[in-house]
Structure 1
Amino acid sequence: MRWFGFGFNAFGQICDRLNKAAGCDVTEEIKLTLPTELESSCCCSKIRGVRASWSRRVTVHEDGDSCVCVAGFAAASSCGVSVSLGCKDAFISEQHLTLAFPGRIETWDLQRKDKTPSWSTEINTQSGGPLLNLPLVPGGYIATKPPLFRSLSPHLKAKSLALGGEHAILLCATGAVYTWGLGSHGQLGHGDLTSEEEPRAVEALWGMTMSGVAAGGWHSVCISDGGDLYLWGWNESGQIGLPSRGLRKTMQQRSSQQAGALCQDADVKSDEEPQEGEKHEEVFISIQAFPALLDVTPSCEIRTVSCGSRHTAAVTTTGDLYTWGWGEYGQLGHQTLISSDEPQCVEFFREQQMRVVDVVCGTWNTFAAVVKEEVPSS
């Protein structure tokens, strides 16, 4: 399995800006519009998983004694944990790095050079139960801001958890979804803009079994057992896949600028036309306060999904990657800096005959895991 990254690269979190062999153009080192393969910076083993924040990424590698590596801002001096042998999972934020080992979990402060972790706990691996995926830990989860450990009721039977800018979305073993935190942009999915201090069930999804959740800066996503995608929250950049007034206005301004002075008369006539009679007006969505079903592609189901600050990426069961939302840093993978409120397939992987199997979004970038497409013999 190979990993590719695209989007924000100001700190070299996708590829080393000084490493020409990695395929990075120095003149476009901050905005990588072309998916670029990640190279291992600390060991020769293949990358098994990626987690990312705004300025850093952490990779978990495959070998007999698994290790993790930190890339990006001040990675070489990040609290002495650039390489940590025996680690099975990792979770990174701008301030903290959490590592999961067979018998313990520890969180390090990336802004300090302490010799010991900021928080740690022993875990029982003899029970035979499945290990929780970070940021979930036994009895609760690791937050991006202090207090680091937040408890969760065992009655929730947490299966996975995603943390947004100021909110959280939890998937229970029963398939139910709970959210809490800031709700000012409808990101909690309760039909209003109020915040919640404690986990509250998303009633609009009640009775439907969900299999995956993801959280962006101010939006949330979940996947049903049937492969359907539900999104809610802020849509300023089209990140929930609904028509965005701000985005369409930006696109129109860009088109007008490209048209130039010769098209000014035509533009005036176009602006006056709606006054002559009733015309179809598109409905724009700024905030979607309850889950909305998004038909990414009618031909297949959604396998996994991830959210950046203001963009979303989903992998289909056929191995295609679709992205939408804010694209100012090339994080949509369409080799442009254009944003979109409609899901579009990342053609690069199709053209390279690669099948996408996983996707992880950083705040302003995207990482995709691929395998070589098997071509049937004639």
Structure 2
Amino acid sequence: MCVRVCVDTGAVFACGDNKSGQCGLGNTTPQVLKPTRIRYSGAPIVKVGCGAEFSMILDCNGSLHSFGLPEYGQLGHNTDGKYFVTSTKLSYHFETVPKHIALFFEKSKEGHVTPVKDVVIVDFSCGNNHTVAIDSKKRAYSWGFGGFGRLGHAEQRDESVPRLIKYFDSQARGVRSVHCGATYSLAVNEHRALFLFGQTKRTGEANMYPKPVQDLSVIAADDTLIAWGVSPTYGELGTGEITKSSARPKEVTRMEGVLVTQVAMGYSHTLLLADDTDQPTRQKLDTMPTFTP
């Protein structure tokens, strides 16, 4: 996995695992030990994202660029990059520098494919091997590995080109944010309803298309934090408990009154970004312990 840093000029730096070219340096050097500027000379970058072995960057003009492993179509370039080195050895054509994602499409129930024009991406999120993005018209697209329905198209096939999620185009118009896990995706619409598609547990039913998370329909989360998940054995949900699982959403009471602007989760830990310019948040943060590295 690689890590990227954006600076004020919109430049991007990368370091870490690069065996699939996911650091965007133009090579597949196995390890990049120091932050190195990627090989990109386009418009300033405003957001970066990391999958398991691929990366995604968004420029200020609303264009997405991807690089790394194309195995499941997660780069969005209409290919999985597979080729045979020998009759028995399979390999991939890695994208070692950022490549623009040029095509977005929608598919009818009858299977007719139509390009979607004038797509300006405003936000996106990467899972291990898939991506969900939203455009300036609040439409959602997904592509990559389709197992367990994590792409929201009511089927499990992989998509190698960004495909419009028809559910949001017809029944829940206006997607405002998206968030991807390893085997699932989350989307929040303009009415602040949360939708889940994919599978959050290792066993059990998978949501093949976006379904509302009913438990959150009566919870106002503007000034608190809601958490749930399977096997929070390291305390990553922040509820103060180490339990086997927490399938039902719970309020993280310690963060009540704190304006949390962003949440990022790894396999077993969580980072929260709070707006300390908000006076109630500032007062709350002043009462919390501070750890200096």
Amino acid across the alignment from 2:126 = L
Q: Which residue in the other structure is 1:147 paired with?
A: 95
In structure 1, distance between residues paired with 2:10 and 2:268: 31
Whether the aligned pair in 2 keeps the contact of 1:180 and 1:199 (CA below 8 Å) is yes
Deviation at 1:105, TM superposition (A): 2.7
Matched, 1:206 2:169: yes
Instruction: Name the SS of the counterpart of 2:254 in structure 1.
Output: helix
Which residue number in structure 1 is paired with residue 216 of structure 2? 297
Distance of aligned partners of 1:114 and 1:333 in 2 relative to their CA distance in 1, 3 Å threshold: closer
Q: 1:341 aligns with which of 247, 256, 267?
A: 247
Kindly indicate whether the alpha-carbon contact (under 8 Å) linking 1:171 and 1:177 is maintained by their aligned counterparts in 2.
yes
Pair 300,336 (structure 1): closer, same or farther in 2 beyond 3 Å? closer
Offset at residue 300 of structure 1 (A) = 4.8
Structure 1 unaligned segments of length 5 or more: list them. 1-93, 126-130, 238-245, 247-284, 302-315
- Superposition pairs for residues 256-295 of structure 1, below 5 Å? 286-295=205-214
Q: 1:199 to 1:337 in 2, by over 3 A?
A: same
TM-score, normalisation: structure 1: 0.51
1:121 is displaced (CA, Å) by: 1.9
Q: C-alpha distance in 2, partners of 1:206/1:368?
A: 31
The question of whether the paired residues in 2 share the 8 Å contact of 1:160 and 1:171 is answered with yes
Equivalent residue for 1:65? none
SS at match of 1:194: coil
Q: Distance in 1 between matches of 2:182 and 2:168?
A: 21
> Whose helix proportion is higher, 1 or 2?
1
Q: Which residue of 1 is the match for residue 58 of structure 2? A: 137
Give matches, 1:238-249, under 5 Å.
Answer: none
Residue matched to 2:225: 321
What is the Cα deviation at residue 143 of structure 1? 4.4
CA shift at 1:102, angstroms?
Answer: 4.3
Q: CA separation in 1, counterparts of 2:182 and 2:195?
A: 16
Distance of 2:189 and 2:34 partners within structure 1: 43
Q: Aligned to 1:359, which of 249, 259, 263?
A: 263
Q: Which amino acid aligns with 1:152?
A: I
Question: In structure 1, which of residues 101, 104, 116 is the aligned counterpart of residue 7 of structure 2?
Answer: 101
Deviates more, 1:153-162 or 1:106-115: 106-115
Q: Secondary structure of the equivalent of 2:182?
A: coil
Which amino acid in structure 2 is aligned with residue 360 of structure 1? A
Name the CA shift for 1:202/1:323 in 2 (closer, same or farther; >3 Å).
same
For CA contacts below 8 A with separation 6 or more, give which structure has more relative contact order.
Answer: 1
Partner of 2:79: none
Cα pair 1:360 1:366 within 8 Å, conserved:
yes
* Residues 103, 123 of structure 1: 8 Å contact kept: no
Alignment deviations for residues 61-89 of structure 1 (CA, whole Å, 9 cap, x no partner): xxxxxxxxxxxxxxxxxxxxxxxxxxxxx
TM-score by length of 2: 0.64
- 1:192-203 maps to which residues of 2 (within 5 A)? 192-203=155-166
Percent of pairs with identical residues: 17
Quote how far apart the aligned CAs of 1:298 are: 4.0
For structure 1, which segment, 355-364 or 213-222, has the greater mean C-alpha deviation from structure 2 after superposition?
Answer: 355-364
Structure 1 position 167, deviation (Å):
0.7
Q: Distance in 1 between matches of 2:34 and 2:95?
A: 20
One-letter amino acid of the structure 2 residue matched with residue 201 of structure 1: L
Instruction: Go from structure 1 to structure 2 and tell me whether the alpha carbon gap of 1:320 and 1:295 turns closer, same or farther (over 3 Å shift).
Output: farther
Q: Which has the larger radius of gyration?
A: 1
**Rounded Cα–Cα distance in structure 1 between residues aligned with 2:156 and 2:32:** 40
SS at match of 1:373: helix
Q: What is the total number of aligned residue pairs between the two structures?
A: 213
Question: Is structure 2 residue 146 aligned with structure 1 residue 222?
Answer: no
Moved more, 136-145 or 361-370: 136-145
The aligned residue for residue 14 of structure 1 is none
In structure 2, C-alpha distance between the alignment counterparts of 1:346 and 1:144, rounded to whole Å? 36
Instruction: Kindly state the Cα deviation for residue 299 of structure 1 after the two structures are TM-superposed.
Output: 4.3
